[in-house]
Structure 1
Amino acid sequence: MRALAHRAVVFGLAALLTACASRPLPPAPPVTELAPGGTLRAAINFGNPILAVKDAANGEPRGVSVDLSRELGRRLGVPVQLVTFNSAGKVVEAVRDAQVDIAFVAIDPVRGADMLQTPPYVIIEGAYLVRNDSPIRRNENVDQANNRVVVGNGSAYDLYLTRELKAAKLVKAPTSPAVTDVMIAQNMEVAAGVKQQLEADAKRVGGVRLLPGRFMVINQAMGLPKGRENAARYLAAFIEQMKASGFVAAALARHGIEGAAVAPPSAP
């Protein structure tokens, strides 16, 4: 019976993935809504190494967000312009002001006020980093009055911790990749950010360690300017196809990304 139940679960999951993968995209809205200038302007954020980095050989952007942008442009039959940024805050401003047509941002109620967003395509973790000799041992120890937590200005961690921290003080670094350097240079107690970024920082600077576990889970989605509701529906279906077909998982593997997971299917 247990084996039969297991096979039933596997079959059900396979059927669900097949249904998602075969679910047709709705008719594409006019290119004037998805790419009003005739070119799809995609915001690429180097502040989150899970999504995009500069290629070491040629300096060009690469990553899952780059791959999704180019695949969307291919399907729409329009050229893609990669507009690069160093912080999520600048990306959000660009979407709000319709300086770009699509972006890749964390789902957050504050950001949702300025843009339309799809269901998530990737889930990543937020972590804390402290010095080796810090008395802080657990995530629960961070929110204390004598602790200063460095975050990237306008990042998902900034927005989340602004709401959640009651006693600790937030200190804003100009970008998320700068949080560890700011923590060390200004003798702060904690740095907060993308777990993979902090792991790389720990190897680079030494004398620091990550706290066990995570303090938040971040759902990464595509965003676009408000007033483009038809385009938003198309992008939501596009994201579901990219997850179900294995495109997102393959992109993460191709770019050597560890610690990020493909988001589960969203309801039709």
Structure 2
Amino acid sequence: MMAGAVTTGLIRACHPEPTAAVTALSGLLAARLGHGPGGIALVVAAVLAGQLTIGWSNDLVDAERDRAVGRTDKPLAAGRVSARTVRLALSVAGGACVVFSLALGWAAGMMHLLLVGCGHAYNLALKRTALSWLPYAIAFGCLPAVVSLALDPPEWPPAWMIGAGALLGVGAHLVNVLPDLEDDAATGVRGLPHRLGSVRTRVAAVIVLVGASLLVVLAPGKPPWWSWVGLAVVAFLAGAALRGRGSTPFRAAMAIALVDMVLLVSRS
């Protein structure tokens, strides 16, 4: 197998969109909370390495399920990259994650490793249970703490930021699972969204994502005027997510999550 094809397969197998989104969010939070260039780079490196391990482990765990439902978009299931290669990449990323995390400081490092552990707990077991939302809530809620605890001196983020991150994480979980509900159900996955069904999952995703928006905008301190514009955009998107057909609800809910990320960074 050619090196270029292997590299492409590894990139696709790491779930590049959520990996890039969470890594970018961590870097933006680091910049907003006062880290210098070196600190920002270290936060980004640690979070990127951790997200790579979560993405690759997800595809390794789900390889047989993905083959069973004919997921040709999954490089491992489609044979475009070998399990051995993915395991090797996972091992390298795991080692880098530990090193970069601890370089952030003991408190921030342990917090980040907890966050990464939540991702692996989801992959290995919790995605099949009614607690599938919990790792997302903890991981997204902890992310601002990873960044603020890496400051000198370490700081604990405000409660509203942790709460908004947790709501954003739950909403991201619900939205992310929506397109795969049927394939998951066919292979025995019964997480919270599968138990709720597509309609109630869509409604729940909108509720928690709009809740995250409100929590950020109404947080202590005077919000900038454009945060109200962001809230109006969220309201419009919520209507589209609840009333739309086809792929519109999924795309609208994803857009709300993106607006929430922008609002969270801007108020940090």
- TM-score bin, normalised by smaller chain: under 0.3
- Decide which structure has the larger Cα Rg and report it: 1
Hey, which of these two has a bigger chunk of strand by percent?
1
Structure showing greater relative contact order (alpha-carbon pairs closer than 8 Å, 6 or more residues apart): 1
Hey, which of these two has a bigger chunk of helix by percent?
2
TM-score between both structures, scaled by the size of structure 2: 0.27
